[in-house]
Structure 1
């Protein structure tokens, strides 16, 4: 019997969850949301401990949301079960060129 792999989706708006152990491609992750609902997702790649797995399909150019906050933009289509990291996510945190102009 294989070990249970758990992922946590903190906010209903999140399209990613965090995995709590190193996860191999084609492993099954039990993603739990804040209400205790569970869904099983098959990984499409290896995902390191503490990193993100896609829980919803995200089109190129759409935002990536974690903990209810936008953390970046998808640089390619991201399938459910994909590893979400710098290879398919452009971070927008700390980037002054993404701030809205205040009309000054």
Structure 2
């Protein structure tokens, strides 16, 4: 079974898809393992859960961890700041560290 053509699977290890287009809430999608319903509007290029993701589980995109689920995420849910925490260091912290190193 294949997934919905409106979604991109970047790596077979990923637990999220990327939306190729804006998708409306309530829309049915195929995840490749079964049907799911979008829980809210999903903007272009945003993530959609490929399967259920448990709280504390890593969010995988490009086959790499990009964050962690802060709550249970159902298949078909929009994965964004409301249900995940980023693993990336904010760039302003990197700039602060660079400036601190220059003054020492």
TM more than 0.5: yes
Question: What number of residue pairs does the alignment pair up?
Answer: 88
**RMSD over equivalenced CA pairs, Å:** 2.2
Please, what TM-score do these two structures have when normalized by structure 2?
Answer: 0.73
Whether 1:26 aligns to 2:21 is no
> Is residue 2:68 matched to residue 1:73?
yes
Report the equivalent of 1:89.
Answer: 84
Report which of the two structures shows the higher radius of gyration computed on alpha carbons. Answer: 2
Gaps of 5+ in 2: 94-104
CA distance in 1, matches of 2:42, 2:56: 22
CA deviation profile, 1:24-81 (whole Å, cap 9, x unmatched)? 11113355xxxxx796542121111110000011110010001101000000000000
Q: Whose helix proportion is higher, 1 or 2?
A: 2
Which residue number corresponds to residue 8 of structure 2? 8
Q: Which portions of structure 1, spanning 4 or more consecutive aligned residues, are displaced by more than 4 angstroms?
A: 37-40
Instruction: Confirm or deny that 1:42 pairs with 2:76.
Output: no
